[in-house]
């Protein structure tokens, strides 16, 4: 773990993008976003759709918050995964800061009363304290410019005992050539603005705990830190 305090690290010294620049970087055609996402999943995250279903699928209470939902592609897959397993129904609120992503999600779920969307910054959620039973953030914690504020606000809107699942991109691990390929994709993503920064596991874990969560489970798989947290 680095020896900075959490407060020091909350100050952006990376020259990273603002939330407006990040939202602009996500202004792409939904089909291109999905195709690009598949390659990033495989070669930068070294992960799979199956791993994501297992990470996010079980974590739905009756009132669920999907943070940084994007175009809703993954959310739709996870909800189908749950339906196939006859898991209990859930009411989902999705938020995203990129209007174009959100528009794709609204189109995808048009006509469904159990899923709704709102434009919101993950660090300033427009919801009451202790409101949601569960929250997920898929493939996105490392895209946020103010991760500490986002973690704190997600913790705020969860009910005590509410659970929160995330997968966080780590700095590339392993050997040549996969590590080099992942590094190139990460560098490109940061230049473009669709990735804010990958993390070291101990760094992101310390931020999670500082935001008020307790850890339920954690594992590193490929270049991802998969973590389930709970609001005490």
Ligand X SMILES: C[S@@+](CC[C@H](N)C(=O)[O-])C[C@H]1O[C@@H](n2cnc3c(N)ncnc32)[C@H](O)[C@@H]1O
Binding site residues, ligand X, CB under 6 A: 19, 22-23, 26, 37, 68-70, 73-74, 96-98, 101, 121-123, 138-140, 143-144
What is the C-alpha separation between 103 and 118, in angstroms, rounded? 10
| 177 vs 190 by CB, closer to ligand X | 190
Task: Report the nearest approach of ligand X to the CB of residue 42 (Å).
Answer: 14
CA 126 to centroid of chain Cα atoms: 18
Interatomic CA distance for residues 20 and 195, integer angstroms: 13
Chain centroid to Cα 55, Å, comes to 12
**Taking CA 120 as the corner, what is the angle to CA 115 and CA 124, rounded to the nearest 5 degrees?**
125
C-alpha 224 chain-centroid distance: 12
Q: Which is nearer to ligand X, 56 or 213 (CB)?
A: 56
Q: Give min distance, CB of 65 to ligand X, in A.
A: 11
Least distance from C-beta 175 to ligand X, angstroms? 26
C-beta of 125: minimal distance to ligand X in Å? Answer: 9
User: 43 — phi, psi (to 5°)?
Assistant: -100, -25
Per DSSP, the three-state class of 207 is helix
Residue of this chain nearest to ligand X (CB atom)? 70
Residue 121 or 148: the one with the smaller Cβ distance to ligand X is 121
Q: How far is the CB of 176 from ligand X (least distance, A)?
A: 26
Residue number, 50 or 160, with CB nearest to ligand X? 50
DSSP 152-194: HHHHHHEEEEEEEEEEEEBSP-S-TTHHHHHHHHHHHHHHHTS
Q: How far is the CB of 120 from ligand X (least distance, A)?
A: 6
Between 29 and 214, CB nearer to ligand X: 29
Tokens 């390659």 sit on residue: 39
CB 156 within 8 A of CB 126: no
Smaller CB distance to ligand X: residue 138 or 157?
A: 138
């Amino acid at each position: 773990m680095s020896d900075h305090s959490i407060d020091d690290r909350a100050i952006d010294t990376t020259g990273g993008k603002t939330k407006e620049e990040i939202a602009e970087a996500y202004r792409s055609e939904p089909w291109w976003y999905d195709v690009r996402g598949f390659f990033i999943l495989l070669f930068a995250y070294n992960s799979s759709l199956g791993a994501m279903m297992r990470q996010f699928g079980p974590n739905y209470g009756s009132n669920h918050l999907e943070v940084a939902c994007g175009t809703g592609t993954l959310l739709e897959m996870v909800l189908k995964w749950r339906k196939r397993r006859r898991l209990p129904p859930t009411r989902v609120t999705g938020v995203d800061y990129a209007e174009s992503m959100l528009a794709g999600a609204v189109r995808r779920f048009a006509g469904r009363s159990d899923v709704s969307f709102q434009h919101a910054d993950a660090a300033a959620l427009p919801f009451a304290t202790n409101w949601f039973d569960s929250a997920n953030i898929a493939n996105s914690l490392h895209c946020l410019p103010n991760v500490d504020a986002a973690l704190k606000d997600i913790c705020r809107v969860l009910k005590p005992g509410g659970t929160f699942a995330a997968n966080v991109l780590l700095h590339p691990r392993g050997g040549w050539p996969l590590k080099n390929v992942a590094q190139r994709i990460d560098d490109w993503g940061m230049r473009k603005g669709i990735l804010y920064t990958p993390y070291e596991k101990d760094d992101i874990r310390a931020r999670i705990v500082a935001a008020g969560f307790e850890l339920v489970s954690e594992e590193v798989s490929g270049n991802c830190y998969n973590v389930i947290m709970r609001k005490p």
